[in-house]
Amino acid sequence: MKHALIVTLALTGIALLGAQQALADDERPEIGCKLSFSLSSWSAIVSSARGKGMVTCNDGSSLPVVITAKGGGLTAGRTHVDEGKGDFTHVHKITDVLGNYAQGEAHAGLTKSGTAQVLTKGTVSLALAGHGEGIDLGVDVGEFTLKRAR
């Protein structure tokens, strides 16, 4: 019982620190950021995608990124997206865009393929749209990750 109380208090403290940081982030003005990207994916129950992109913000900052996505569901196919676009919301500094986003997607295509989805990571959201070529069909959920390119 005593250990449960200590763990509960520790988790509450961590949550309060996170809330304090979120409030501090909200005090800074938001900046508008966009993502341009290319992405190749395959799926057969498990889906995987890799790509690269560039985040640019209206404060003049830019950041090259590497994109990975992993998921699973009822899905099959192989696609390639060129000239994909994304819009971020609730960004206060460019590094806010980095990290893991929750992803859910329904997709279908034969020869010409397209995608449109909204991803979330805390208060930051990313709306993606792209078109490309390939064959795909399915519904999957997973994780979409943006990392700083090296």
Question: What mean pLDDT comes out for the span 122-139?
Answer: 76
The answer to whether domain 31-148 has CATH 3.30.450 is no
Per-domain residue ranges for the chain? 1-28, 31-148
Read off the pLDDT of residues 82-96 as tens digits, 9 standing for 90 and up: 888 999 999 999 999
Compute, in degrees rounded to 10, the torsion defined by CA atoms 10, 11, 13, 19: 170
Spell out the residues 6+ positions from residue 99 whose beta carbon is closer than 8 angstroms to its own: 121, 124, 145, 146
Alpha-carbon span 81 to 113, nearest angstrom: 8
Whether 88 and 126 have beta carbons less than 8 Å apart is answered as: yes
How does DSSP classify residue 90?
S
**Model's pTM, two decimal places?**
0.72
